[in-house]
């Protein structure tokens, strides 16, 4: 049975309460989104041959659950979960789960991280049961959280990320659906942030296109979409 998105979103937003007060929304969003990512890929792709993402043994969500309550939980998450996943998939800018300035120190950090992980143990958050064809449950959850993080941070949505509605309109205005596109067609966003606009443009295109996104003051990176 496919999970009800209303239940998913409610549970995920509840997870933010665990961290709320300890840091700004623009900071704690990183921890919640990484937990969402790890839970999703563990449910969907663990032990799946030729999966689009590599999940090293010992770096699954269940391995993170096993760290709950341990006095060095933050350090262990970094070493046993985050580092292997990042190295295996060339991921960068992962949050530090042992940052005392953001998560507290000692028992405070242990409780905060333990409670946060526990929220994602909810049986309703079993992503392996999501069978809706073409249903981007991870992407929709990401957009929902980003929208709420924008509100919590006190920033306008446009300053924090490009709302999905705006991205869809811009993608349609560009007329890329009617254009003759190919993998050589390039789309560039010099301030891509969450990448919402690039993803919506890619969805509008009738063929895969090449996406370039630059968030920081660094050379643009290319990816095939």
Asked whether residue 135 falls in the same domain as residue 179, the answer is no
Average pLDDT value for residue range 210-221: 62
Please report which confidence band the pLDDT of residue 193 belongs to, taking 50, 70 and 90 as the band edges: low
Please report which confidence band the pLDDT of residue 175 belongs to, taking 50, 70 and 90 as the band edges: confident
Asked whether residue 130 falls in the same domain as residue 172, the answer is no
Asked whether residue 151 falls in the same domain as residue 169, the answer is no
37-60 confidence digits (pLDDT tens): 899 899 988 888 888 899 999 999
14 or 96: which carries more pLDDT confidence? 96
Asked whether residue 53 falls in the same domain as residue 82, the answer is yes
Q: Which helix (H) or strand (E) holds 224?
A: strand 221-224
Asked whether residue 127 falls in the same domain as residue 187, the answer is no
Asked whether residue 89 falls in the same domain as residue 53, the answer is yes
State how far the Cα of 45 lies from the Cα of 52, in Å rounded to an integer: 8
Domain final residue, candidates 114, 133, 155: 155
Asked whether residue 62 falls in the same domain as residue 80, the answer is yes
Asked whether residue 121 falls in the same domain as residue 21, the answer is yes
Domain final residue, candidates 155, 176, 197: 155
State how far the Cα of 167 lies from the Cα of 198, in Å rounded to an integer: 8
What is the domain-level CATH number for residue 105?
Answer: 1.20.1260.30
User: What are the distances in angstroms from CA 190 to CA 38, 187, 194, 196, 216?
Assistant: 28, 10, 12, 13, 9
Asked whether residue 142 falls in the same domain as residue 171, the answer is no
Asked whether residue 166 falls in the same domain as residue 63, the answer is no
What's the confidence (pLDDT) of residue 4? 67
Asked whether residue 128 falls in the same domain as residue 167, the answer is no
Which residues 6+ apart lie within 8 Å of 10 measured at CB?
Answer: none
Contact present, 93 and 216 (Cβ < 8 Å): no
What are the beta bridge partners of residue 222?
212
* Edge-to-edge strand ranges of the sheet holding 221-224: 186-189, 210-213, 221-224
> Token match 């949505």: residue?
157
What's the confidence (pLDDT) of residue 183? 83
Domain count along the chain:
2
State the chain's maximal CA–CA distance in angstroms: 58
**Mean pLDDT score of the chain, rounded to an integer?**
79
Contact present, 200 and 167 (Cβ < 8 Å): yes
Asked whether residue 80 falls in the same domain as residue 172, the answer is no
pLDDT at residue 3 is higher than 70: no
Q: Which helix (H) or strand (E) holds 66?
A: none
State how far the Cα of 39 lies from the Cα of 47, in Å rounded to an integer: 14
What's the confidence (pLDDT) of residue 1? 52
What are the beta bridge partners of residue 221?
213
- Has this prediction a pTM greater than 0.85? no
Please report which confidence band the pLDDT of residue 202 belongs to, taking 50, 70 and 90 as the band edges: confident
89 or 164: which carries more pLDDT confidence? 89
Q: Which of 26-35, 104-113, 158-167, 168-177 has the lowest mean pLDDT?
A: 158-167
State how far the Cα of 79 lies from the Cα of 69, in Å rounded to an integer: 16
What's the confidence (pLDDT) of residue 178? 84
Average pLDDT value for residue range 1-14: 67
Domain final residue, candidates 125, 155, 185: 155
Determine the structural domain holding residue 43 and report its residue range.
5-155
Average pLDDT value for residue range 100-115: 90
């Amino acid at each position: 049975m496919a999970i009800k998105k209303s239940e998913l979103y409610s549970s995920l937003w509840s997870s933010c309460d665990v961290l709320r007060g300890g840091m700004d929304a623009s900071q704690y969003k990183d921890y919640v989104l990484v937990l969402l990512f790890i839970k999703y890929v563990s449910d969907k792709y663990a032990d799946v041959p030729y999966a689009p993402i590599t999940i090293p043994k010992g770096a699954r969500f269940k391995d993170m659950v096993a760290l709950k309550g341990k006095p060095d939980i933050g350090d262990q998450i970094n070493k046993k979960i985050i580092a292997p996943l990042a190295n295996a998939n060339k991921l960068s800018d992962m949050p530090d789960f042992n940052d005392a300035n953001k998560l507290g120190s000692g028992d405070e950090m242990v409780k905060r991280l333990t409670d946060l992980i526990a929220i994602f143990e909810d049986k309703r958050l079993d992503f392996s049961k999501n069978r809706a064809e073409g249903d981007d449950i991870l992407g929709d959850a990401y957009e929902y959280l980003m929208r709420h993080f924008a509100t919590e941070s006190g920033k306008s949505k446009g300053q924090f990320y490009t709302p999905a509605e705006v991205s869809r309109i811009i993608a349609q205005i560009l007329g890329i659906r009617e254009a003759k596109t190919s993998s050589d067609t390039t789309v560039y966003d010099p301030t891509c942030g969450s990448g919402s606009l690039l993803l919506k443009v890619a969805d509008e295109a009738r063929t895969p296109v090449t996406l370039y996104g630059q968030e920081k003051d660094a050379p643009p990176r290319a990816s095939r979409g």
